[in-house]
A and B are shown apart, each in its own frame.
Chain A
Amino acid sequence: MEHKTADTQGVGSVYASLGGEIWRALLVVAGGRADLAEDAAAEAFSRFLVHRHEVRDARAWLYRTGSRIVIDELRRERRQGEEIDAGSVDRPQLLSSGLTEALRALTPEQRLCMFLTYHMDLPAREVARLTGSSLPAVKMRLNRARRALREQLREVSNV
């Protein structure tokens, strides 16, 4: 679904139709970090408000911008040694501990590919388009993500 907005009021309708989807995706990319997902979603839509006239496909643009914000922030936190565990943040947990643990086994890019594939039911080609990646890269991320999750499951069952 492409959202071509030329008028300013279109931003409100784009948020109404895509806000929930983008926020859920960013929540997954952030590994369950609700604070980071909320900030990144607000930031992505703010940038969209500024650049809306240059944007052809709002959905893809928001996915790419939002996930890039989250990934950059996670990297920055890791560099500065302030990585925050989703389970340790002093606020209500939105995701179950099982899903949070599973996401921890994946990279942010793999989380996004898994979300689009298994939650949004999108084919790999569409995932590649929305994330701005090549089709082989998406397939490789999905393979590695599935393998990592299976290994994690095996470790849990062995314990």
Chain B
Amino acid sequence: MSDFNHMFDELDALRPPDRILHRISLPAARFSTAARWRPAVRLALVTAGVVLLIAALALAAHSRTSAPAPSNQPITADGLLAAMKGHGFVHVQRDKGYLNCDGMPADALKPRLSVTGELDVHPLTLPGDTGRTLATLAVVRSPADARRCARTVLQHDLRIHTPGAVMLSPTILKFLGTPHTEAGVTVDGQYEIFGSVGRIVYYGLAVNRPEAQQVEQHLRAAATPFAP
């Protein structure tokens, strides 16, 4: 081996196994330091999840019993803004889409509240709608904020009565691929959650199961960035 230039010549004939390509999306667990802690972490997460679920159920039951009766009165942009600010939503602001809600009947509004940590207001339209702006979207800072805001909306009876109005909002598409959660209030005051962490997209309640599945399929299709 006096000539180092030919030391590795035999490597030229070697090709990597094809299975490496198929393993790329599945990190080898043997190198993960977290792998050793995985069972304990999983147990802790399940425990925390159960505790949070119980707390959320208790909170929901409490808010339902303590919420004032819906007013059924039309609400203005200023009214909604004031209500949201009253619940700590300092980031909510008026914009063109928001002002378009002025004077519209309350049951035509569909606020969508995101939890991406930044301010964003989007107009939303219903499928098959003539194109008029129906509602706004405000981005809040945390899931807790979204829940408080959702309760605010419920208290003001900002519900729409159009069954099947689950929409794939531009914000969801915009943030696909980055960790985010989006919560919204749906028909009949149901609470929905969409989210994605990397390639995994999840969602919570929707108007009904078939439509939720349809939305999930859209999200999954849009969120699959790499297929070896």
**Contact of A38 with B7 in the complex, beta carbons under 8 Å:** no
Contact with B along A89-126 (1 / 0, CB 8 A): 00000111011001000000000001101110000000
Chain B residue, CB-CB nearest to A48: B24
Instruction: Check A46/B20 contact, CB under 8 A, given A99-B7, A99-B10, A149-B4.
Output: no
Complex alpha-carbon distance, A45 and B28, angstroms: 10
Q: Which residues of A contact B15 (CB under 8 A)?
A: 20
**Contact of B1 with A9 in the complex, beta carbons under 8 Å:** no
Quote the shortest CB–CB distance from A76 to chain B (angstroms): 9
Quote the shortest CB–CB distance from B10 to chain A (angstroms): 6
Instruction: Check A46/B11 contact, CB under 8 A, given A12-B228, A146-B4.
Output: no
**Contact of A119 with B28 in the complex, beta carbons under 8 Å:** no
The total of chain A residues at the interface (CB under 8 A) is 39
Stretch at the interface among A23-31, A78-86, A127-135: A23-31
Quote the shortest CB–CB distance from B17 to chain A (angstroms): 6
Chain A residue, CB-CB nearest to B2: A153
Q: Which residues of A contact B23 (CB under 8 A)?
A: 42, 46
**Contact of B16 with A39 in the complex, beta carbons under 8 Å:** no
For the complex, is B25 an interface residue (Cβ under 8 Å from A)? yes
**Contact of B24 with A73 in the complex, beta carbons under 8 Å:** no
**Contact of B5 with A42 in the complex, beta carbons under 8 Å:** no
For the complex, is A17 an interface residue (Cβ under 8 Å from B)? no
Complex alpha-carbon distance, A146 and B7, angstroms: 11
For the complex, is A50 an interface residue (Cβ under 8 Å from B)? yes
**Contact of B11 with A24 in the complex, beta carbons under 8 Å:** yes
**Contact of B226 with A69 in the complex, beta carbons under 8 Å:** no
**Contact of B4 with A72 in the complex, beta carbons under 8 Å:** no
**Contact of B4 with A28 in the complex, beta carbons under 8 Å:** no
Chain A residue, CB-CB nearest to B6: A118
For the complex, is B8 an interface residue (Cβ under 8 Å from A)? yes
Q: Which residues of A contact B17 (CB under 8 A)?
A: 38
Interface centre among B4, B26, B225 (most CB of A within 10 A): B4
Instruction: Check A43/B31 contact, CB under 8 A, given A9-B226, A99-B7.
Output: yes
Complex alpha-carbon distance, A24 and B16, angstroms: 8
Complex alpha-carbon distance, A28 and B8, angstroms: 9
For the complex, is B14 an interface residue (Cβ under 8 Å from A)? yes
**Contact of B28 with A42 in the complex, beta carbons under 8 Å:** yes
Complex alpha-carbon distance, A118 and B5, angstroms: 5
Q: Which residues of B contact A9 (CB under 8 A)?
A: 225-226
Quote the shortest CB–CB distance from A44 to chain B (angstroms): 9
For the complex, is A41 an interface residue (Cβ under 8 Å from B)? yes
For the complex, is B103 an interface residue (Cβ under 8 Å from A)? no
Chain B residue, CB-CB nearest to A69: B31
Q: Which residues of B contact A8 (CB under 8 A)?
A: 177, 225-226
Interface residue from B20, B26, B177, B226 paired with A11 (Cβ < 8 Å): B226
Q: List 14 A-B contacts (CB under 8 A).
A: A8-B177, A8-B226, A11-B24, A15-B24, A20-B15, A24-B14, A38-B19, A39-B28, A40-B28, A42-B20, A69-B31, A73-B30, A99-B10, A118-B4
Residues of B with Cβ closer than 8 Å to A?
Answer: 1-2, 4-5, 7-8, 10-11, 14-17, 19-21, 23-28, 30-31, 177, 198, 225-226, 228
Residues of A with Cβ closer than 8 Å to B?
Answer: 8-9, 11-12, 15, 19-20, 23-24, 27-28, 38-43, 45-47, 49-50, 69, 72-73, 94-96, 98-99, 102, 114-115, 117-119, 146, 149, 153
Contacts A46-B25, A119-B11 known; 4 new A-B pairs at CB < 8 A: A24-B14, A43-B27, A69-B31, A73-B30
Give 5 closest A-B pairs by Cβ, nearest first.
A8-B225, A23-B16, A119-B8, A42-B23, A46-B27
